[in-house]
Chain A
Amino acid sequence: MLAALPLLGAHLRAQGIGGDPDHPVLPIGSALPDFNLPGVDGKMHKASEYGGTKALAIVFESNHCPVSQLYEGRIEKLFADYRGKGVTLVAINPNNPKTVRLDELGYTDVTDSLPEMKLRARFRGIDWPYLYDGDTQAVSSKFGAVATPHIFIFDEQRKLRYQGRIDDNQREELVKSQDARHALDAVLTGKPVPIAETKAFGCTTKWLSKASGVEQEWARIQAEPVTVDMVDAAALKELRANATDKVMLVHFWSTGCALCTSEFFDLETTYRMYRKRAFNLVTVSTNGPADAPAVLSFLKKQYASSPNKQFASADRAALQAAWGEKWSLSAPLTMVIAPGGNVLYKKEGKFDILEVRRVVLAAMPDTSGYIGSKAYWMRAVEEMRKKRTTGPDPK
């Protein structure tokens, strides 16, 4: 025991939890900060163009954050329910993809760049303005956007009347208090907003001023060992049965197939995104055993630290028989297999990496992740399938 334990901080004024001194939250009563930001429609949008309506809601949301994703549907309803009542809604993504590591993309198909915001907007039918502030984060900084999602509601004079959460529970079925709607209703009827400030729960804004570790992550990935296991027919059969508790993405490829090599990087990226969850990527080279050095050399160039296999025999009919599929071996074969062996996705030739990711996201269990995320992606996959069977999809 130490002889004397000095009473720490006793000589100081009581210190409580403070706000972020670098990005203070916009105080109630403040005027709408000016902005001029690119949107998913390819145009620039100024704060002034959203004038003239009775209320303006600015909501900070992002692509990668699972909390923000689960609010997309609620934001859509808010937009639909209030647009006829004179409310304008604008979403701003405060994040820059340069500050988002691959291991932060475990719940998403895309990261937080403007092109990928366009993909998300098209995919989810986001028809409210969705603007990108990641380049400088100057606007997000003026608002003091703490997290995604974080909503700010301005009245007709564009004075801030409410900021904080959209509602009081990230699980929609448990929501008791519709804070943003209460604030909008008050603003529209000229009444005081019942609770003007709440806390915004979600993923913290990825400020450019903070170290992101993106470069360190890439250095770590490059240092990971790359190996290839020679496997026989029995091992392939076992792989196909997927007795693991992980959703497995299996990719058959060969060094001679240009399409295979061009899309390989996307698969490894996907592995780096989801590998901390119930997911695994297994690549299987269909090259003959004599090509082993070329196979390893290619995988090393790709920093392919995923489990990699190569069929130990030149007998390609035996390979296909072992796997239980027939395909042109000059083309890649990509499959997603659920624990227990159920095939969730199968594609010969060129695959759509976003489709693959969405199928995987919809298959990973919620209990080991984030309640509601699976349902979000299952709905997404269903819509994707519906579109493919009915819609004018050019593919």
Chain B
Amino acid sequence: MRCHTARLPSLLVLALVVSSCAGADTPKLARGAAAPDFSLPGIDGKTHSLGEYANSRVLAIVFTGNSCPASQLYESRLRRLADDYRDRGVTLVAINPNRAAGLLPQDLSFSDVGESLEDMKTRAAYRKTTYPYLSDEAQAVTQQFGVVSTPHIFVFDQSRKLHYEGKIDDELREEAVKSSYARSAIDALLAGREAPVEHTRVAGCAVKGLSSPAGSTPGQADAGKADAGKADVPLTMAGPEELKRLRQNGTGKLLLVNFWATWCAPCAAEFPDLEATYRMYRARNLEFVSVSVNDPEERAAVEEFLQTHRATHDNRLFATSDVYGLQAAFDPKMPAAVPFTLLLAPNGDVVYQELGELDTLKLRRAILANLPEDPQFPGHRAYWSN
């Protein structure tokens, strides 16, 4: 069954966001239901189960992941919730319901990392997460809770009966929040009262990899096609004029430029990461141009390399042996050594640069901080900017 999501701005967001339909109207767990047991690996390297939180007066379990922009925007609120209530006998446990295996690059268009336990550790370290963060790669716990989208919070009392499930609060934009459902439920339980609201409908991102009748993922067919046969890998010669134009970035988009050479091992080592990065964000208007500083006589090797990496975007090769002259034509300030990677804003501003091998996460975070704000997720750019 498919939902009407015509007002959503792009196909990509359509795939990602299910705000108008995914939050089930009839939750699988209703008020009074017992907390399903679990035993899941956490980012601390240990396995965690329901029983170990038995002493907590209130247990809040939130299903949230790395790649969903809504989940990201709630990270700081969850951290504060955990910190504010920790001394009052409240424990917050986060469970990632997404299946890391089989994720497509475009599933990560709002994220620096994927959904594996390693990725969760990376995110937790980056965002200084203070609460347990567990992986439900097999999705059995997710299904027991009836979770289909993130973030989705469940608040249980001391006897582990459910009192509230649904949204954390009523607004993605924190400054516009009027009702803090999760906090109200916790406050009520701590005061020995009933939670004022027992259910709200979750709006966020569909859980990744959950088998569902509407489970056709756009892009999967494309990905399969891309793996077969020879890729269409354009390669054009770049003289001084072309390079000057490239530096000005007339694309109207955020532009990733990578200078490389076949003989440069760090260049070759980081190239797959650049390709993956491009595939992650291209639907959000990221352009990628690779520029080989090889000698024109080495063209065959350049073509073979690009073919190996299925570099189906804009690729250039220095048109002459005058490496220094061509680099100066691109930008007199350009360092001459390779690899050299730049991120150019539509107006030509350099918003990121790296000489030598890339730190892929740093690059991805710079891209996320400079891609246009998606109206679906106000504050997402700011999330990646600090």
Contact = CB atoms under 8 A, between A and B. Distances in A.
Interface residues of A, number: 55
Contact of B9 (A1, A170, A171): A1
A199 B329 CA distance: 13
Interface string A194-216: 00001111111111001111000
A2 B374 contact: yes
A199 B330 CA distance: 13
Contacts of B323: 169-170, 201
A62 to B, nearest CB: 12
A147 B336 contact: yes
Most buried by A among B295, B300, B328: B295
B321 A205 contact: no
A15 B366 CA distance: 14
B339 to A, nearest CB: 7
B347 A9 contact: yes
A6 interface: yes
B327 A369 contact: no
B372 interface: yes
A199 B335 contact: yes
B333 A16 contact: yes
A204 B265 CA distance: 11
B314 interface: no
Contacts of B347: 7-10, 14
Nearest to B352: A15
Contacts of A5: 252, 285, 372
A17 B334 contact: yes
Contacts of A103: 265, 268-269
A371 interface: yes
Contacts of A203: 264, 266, 337-338
Contact of B268 (A9, A107, A169, A276): A276
A140 B85 CA distance: 51
Interface in A348-389: 366-371, 373
A17 B323 CA distance: 18
A373 B263 CA distance: 10
Interface residues of B, number: 52
A3 interface: yes
B337 A14 contact: no
Contacts of A106: 263, 265
Contacts of B295: 171, 371
A207 B345 contact: no
A5 to B, nearest CB: 5
Contacts of A165: 324, 336
Contacts of A198: 324
Contact of A169 (B262, B322, B345, B346): B322
B113 to A, nearest CB: 16
Contacts of A174: 321-322
B326 to A, nearest CB: 11
Nearest to B304: A368
Nearest to B284: A2
B265 A101 contact: yes
A9 B254 CA distance: 11
A368 B262 contact: yes
B370 interface: yes
Interface string B258-274: 00011111101100000
B297 A15 contact: no
Interface stretch (B64-72, B163-171, B355-363): B355-363
Interface in B303-341: 304, 321-325, 327-328, 331, 333-339
A134 interface: no
Interface in A94-150: 101, 103-107, 146-147
B298 interface: yes
B263 A369 contact: yes
A161 B303 CA distance: 41
Given A200-B336, A204-B266, A370-B263, A18 B353 contact: yes
Interface in A1-47: 1-10, 12, 14-20
B140 interface: no
B232 interface: no
A156 interface: no
A99 to B, nearest CB: 10
A332 interface: no
B342 interface: yes
B276 interface: no
B333 A17 contact: yes
A2 B314 CA distance: 23
A210 B339 CA distance: 14
Nearest to A200: B336
Nearest to A202: B337
B331 A17 contact: yes
Contacts of B301: 367-369
A168 interface: yes
Contacts of A204: 266, 337-339, 355-357
A342 B297 CA distance: 26
B350 interface: yes
Contact of B324 (A10, A14, A17, A201): A201
28 contacts: A1-B10, A4-B372, A9-B349, A9-B370, A15-B351, A17-B331, A17-B334, A18-B350, A66-B263, A101-B265, A104-B265, A104-B269, A146-B336, A147-B336, A169-B324, A174-B322, A199-B324, A199-B336, A203-B266, A204-B337, A204-B356, A205-B356, A206-B356, A366-B298, A368-B300, A369-B263, A370-B263, A370-B298
Given A200-B335, A202-B336, 8 more contacts: A8-B351, A8-B372, A10-B347, A14-B348, A199-B328, A201-B327, A367-B297, A368-B298
Pick the 8 closest A-B CB pairs, nearest first: A199-B336, A147-B337, A104-B265, A201-B336, A370-B263, A204-B356, A9-B345, A9-B349
